Amino acid sequence: MASLSVPPAPTDPRRDAVDLHRAFKGLGCDSTTVIAILAHRDASQRALIQHQYMVIYHQDLLHRLASELSGHHKRAMLLWVLDPAARDATILHQALNGDVTDLRAATEVVCSRTPSQLHVVRQAYLARFGGHLEHHVAGRTSGDHQRLLLTYLRVPRYEGLEVDAAAAARDARELYRAGERRLGTDERTFIRVFTERSAAHLASVAAAYQHMYDRSLEKAVKSETSGNFGFGLLTVIRCAESPARYFAKVLHKAMKGMGTNDTTLIRVVTTRAEIDMQYIKAEYHRSYKRSLADTVHSETSGNYRTFLLSLIGRDR
């Protein structure tokens, strides 16, 4: 369930474009108006605003925002105004080709998305950056981690909820034999099961593994794998069991202790606000006994804080 709040009555994208342009004029930017408009429009509405802005002012709204905003607020806004596929493609491109390679971010995006989402992300990546996502992944990764990501990107998977319990039990048994039962790990079996099975099936496999061996599949993955490969497998299984719980934990890690990982905070808030942020907020409160909005409020400031809290929404 999304946390994004939009006006109950249909909005006029031309009026929004004009109001944004007025907010940019003069000395300084009226960030309050920019946030009030863009933080309360869904992806289709934001696309129409961008189109109208180009028609009226012959300028790309993204370029204008980049020149008017700064810091973390700018980074968050520039991701938010994109459609979901272009946003994921941009995050992946920055993670794989930026000044600092962030393989954890790239792995999270790939391993937490559905096959249909990844299909349009690959198309958006090629359209925006003139290269194939798989080629860039292959150039930045290696070994089992590379095989996991490339297979996960390419293999179509069932996205329904139906599960064959007997097949799930067979997969649990096969994973046990490929890992904890033997000396060494058969990584290819883990890659095959984790990349070819649906999310619902993998959740059933995890339950069967716990029932059959009195040990969680997640703990088995932790003990049998490591590094970015292990992180990718854990992302797949955690998102299969509960995407909301997974992202609540990611947000908690990003904001606990000294300092905040703003790249992670921005990535999760902008990519989940239109999908399941309400569920993430509920999981966050259940796990950490504090509202996500309160934590974000204490870890951010200024227009950046206002913008993120607008996307996260009020606690209910």
Half-sphere exposure of 71 (CA within 13 A, CB side): 10
pLDDT over threshold 90, residue 76? yes
pLDDT at residue 257 in the model: 85
Instruction: Show the tokens assigned to 272.
Output: 């989940």
pLDDT over threshold 80, residue 315? no
Average pLDDT over residues 247-263: 95
pLDDT at residue 41 in the model: 97
Average pLDDT over residues 220-236: 97
More confident residue, 182 or 187: 187
pLDDT over threshold 90, residue 183? no
Contact status, residue 242 vs residue 206, Cβ threshold 8 Å: no
Helix boundaries (H) for the chain? 13-24, 31-38, 43-57, 61-68, 71-80, 84-97, 103-111, 115-129, 133-140, 143-154, 165-178, 187-196, 199-213, 217-224, 227-241, 243-255, 262-272, 277-288, 292-299, 302-312
pTM: 0.95
pLDDT at residue 314 in the model: 77
pLDDT at residue 241 in the model: 97
Half-sphere exposure of 231 (CA within 13 A, CB side): 14
SS3 14: helix
pLDDT at residue 49 in the model: 98
pLDDT over threshold 80, residue 45? yes
pLDDT bracket for residue 316 (50, 70, 90): low
SS3 28: coil
Tens digit of each residue's pLDDT (9 = 90 or more) over 81-93: 999 999 999 999 9
Rounded to whole angstroms, how far apart are CA atoms 306 and 158? 39
More confident residue, 7 or 149: 149
pLDDT at residue 261 in the model: 97
Q: Could you give the domains of the chain?
A: 13-68 (1.10.220.10), 165-241 (1.10.220.10), 243-312 (1.10.220.10)
Rounded to whole angstroms, how far apart are CA atoms 273 and 307? 12
pLDDT over threshold 70, residue 288? yes
Average pLDDT over residues 139-155: 97
The DSSP string of 170-184 is HHHHHHHHHTTTSSS
The DSSP string of 252-316 is HHHHSSSS--HHHHHHHHHHHTTTTHHHHHHHHHHHHSS-HHHHHHHH--HHHHHHHHHHH----
Average pLDDT over residues 114-140: 97
Note the Cα 127 to chain centre separation in Å: 20
Nearest to 268 by CA among 235, 301, 298: 235
Tens digit of each residue's pLDDT (9 = 90 or more) over 94-113: 999 988 999 999 999 999 99
Tens digit of each residue's pLDDT (9 = 90 or more) over 157-179: 999 999 999 999 999 999 999 99
pLDDT at residue 9 in the model: 87
- Quote the percentage of the chain above a pLDDT of 90: 91
